[in-house]
Amino acid sequence: MQIVLKICIILSLCVSTLSLAQTDKSYIEKGQFSLGVRSTTSLFGHDDVEGLGSGGQFRLQFFDFLSTEFFADWITIDLNGAGTRKDAHIGWSMLFYPKTFGRIQPYLIAGHCFDYAEVTPISTAYIDRSGEEIARWSSAVQAGLGTHLFLSNRMNLSFAAQYMLHVGQHLDYELMQAGDTYYLNTTPSAGSNGSETEGHLLLTLSLNYRIADLW
């Protein structure tokens, strides 16, 4: 994630001095196709620990007021040294622009994705816990707010905050504290695993470049 953030900062500094002179085309128009890299932070999850990840996306603008975004994320969460949780998101979103504001363009965002989650307890030299790994597939819906910062008429930084709600079988585990250490229990209680909802807040920063005007 740090590498993606550094790339975003370096590229934004390089193009910011050139962006003021580029006014030959509107920032948002139908038919635009762009590619981007993204860095994602997951907050307020199962154990109130942060997850950091990175990924990619592409956008296709169907109308001046409506765009689509197709994305993939890989997020890793350190469960306080007792294990790791990994989440993969593959999905799409709709970006709605209620009004055009120029270089700073706010938008509403909502969509759907498929999610793969995996929780792995940490093994030691004396205890092999690899057989206690648990995983599941689910689907999710997400919605929130975002904004574009146009560095030029082709490049923008985008920030979005979305709440993602997973629907389906949740991962049943407990992160227990004993003094200064933590223990990850992936078989906490019989019968507690089932179809439930599980949600978390996603913060996404992306750098996007328009590579084509398709129509």
pLDDT tens digits for range 186-209: 887 644 444 456 778 999 999 999
Q: Which is more confidently placed, 202 or 15? A: 202
The 3-state secondary structure of 111-150, one letter per residue:
EEEEEEEEEEECCCCCCCCHHHCEEEEEEEEEEEEEEEEE
What pLDDT sits at residue 169?
A: 74
What pLDDT sits at residue 183?
A: 87
Length of the chain: 215
What's the CA gap between 153 and 61, in Å, rounded? 14
Domain 2-13+29-213 classified CATH 3.40.50.300?
no
What pLDDT sits at residue 46?
A: 65
Kindly give the pairing relationship between strand 83-96 and strand 66-78: antiparallel
Q: Which is more confidently placed, 200 or 41? A: 41
What's the CA gap between 156 and 32, in Å, rounded? 13
Average pLDDT over residues 67-71: 97
What is the residue extent of each domain of the chain?
Answer: 2-13+29-213
Q: Picking from 30-34, 44-48, 134-138, which range would have the lowest pLDDT averaged per residue?
A: 44-48
The CB-side HSE value for 165 (13 A sphere, CA atoms) comes to 10
Label residue 13 by pLDDT band (50, 70, 90): very low
Please determine, for residue 21, whether its predicted confidence score (pLDDT) is greater than 50.
no
Please determine, for residue 101, whether its predicted confidence score (pLDDT) is greater than 60.
yes
What pLDDT sits at residue 25?
A: 52
pLDDT tens digits for range 107-131:
999 999 999 989 999 888 788 888 8
What's the CA gap between 146 and 97, in Å, rounded? 10
Average pLDDT over residues 48-64: 91
